[in-house]
Amino acid sequence: MSTHILKSTHDGILKIGEVELECHVLEDTRRVFALKDLMAAFNLQNSQKDQPRVLNAFLNKIKFISIGNEELRSPLCKPIKFIIPGKGGSPLNGYAAELIPEICNSILILSSRYMLPIDLREAAERSSILLNSFAKIGILALVDEATGYQDQRDKNALRAILDKYLSAEYSAWAKRFPDEFYREMFRLKNWEWLGMKINRPGVVGHYTNEIVYSRLAPGVLSELKRINPPDETGKRKAKHHQWLTPDIGHPALNQHIFAVLAIMRLSSSWGIFTRNLTKAFPKIGEQMGLDFEESES
């Protein structure tokens, strides 16, 4: 028995942050993303030939623990075949648009249970951003539909709101340490501040570990050093904060950084700052290194 190939009746581009996803409405009204676009949503990059294998490996990792019914499971096992009229080539594999928030939810549940594979940290950050964005836009769309305003609003009104919201979200994720953190460090060390575009002394990374990561929770810094070691050139593949969980690690990091900034502003020298920091946020189970605490410069 041959599988019926559906036609795409409407298509467009859904821009999510820096990613553009081609979406389709099929003749049976189902909304879908093609395989390549579903993968792009979670930054799963691979050759076209390997895409099915990579997606299956990805789904097996997250196990879809949040999906409890076969209605949503079946589209994953049996992609929806469709064609785009006027375009040649083989039929595309479509996946229900509703699966994206389900994937996001599954990833974040795993993250909250400390069960998320290390290589999915970036997918977890993206999932948090996507779910927040969908919730914001979703409630606006529901209100517009209930009031009839959807017939009057500009065609791209929700698109503009989503663009603005996602831009702010991605900026927040991308830059965990505000410029002021480093500017204050330079002031306290009596170093000349030339801005963020100038390479910082290598010891800045050591100070950042001492000030921030060694005080978040017991064992955090040692684990970050283990899973995110420097290469032969001394550089790490990722920033330490990119390995923190989005539900617990990032909020804790943000709170700590802003508390540290307050201590920095109130301190007139590096030595005074380090003593105040030790009083406010003592390192658990060990003493601060002398090279860090006692220098007054």
Q: Which residue has the tokens 């196990």?
A: 63
The packing angle between helices 179-189 and 249-266, to 10°, is 40
Contact 46, 39 (CB under 8 A): yes
pLDDT by residue, tens only, the chain of 297 residues = 446 899 999 888 887 766 788 888 999 988 889 888 888 888 887 666 677 788 877 877 776 665 555 555 665 667 889 999 988 778 998 988 888 888 888 888 887 777 877 778 778 878 887 887 777 777 667 666 666 767 767 766 666 666 655 555 555 554 567 788 889 999 999 998 887 666 677 788 889 878 887 777 555 555 566 656 666 666 655 555 454 555 455 566 777 787 888 889 989 999 999 998 888 888 755 444 434 554 444
Q: Which residue has the tokens 């076209």?
A: 48
Structure tokens at 175: 């830059």
| Residue 294: per-residue pLDDT | 45
Nearest to 163 by CA among 20, 33, 8, 53: 20
Nearest-angstrom CA–CA distance, 294 and 272: 9
Contact 234, 151 (CB under 8 A): no
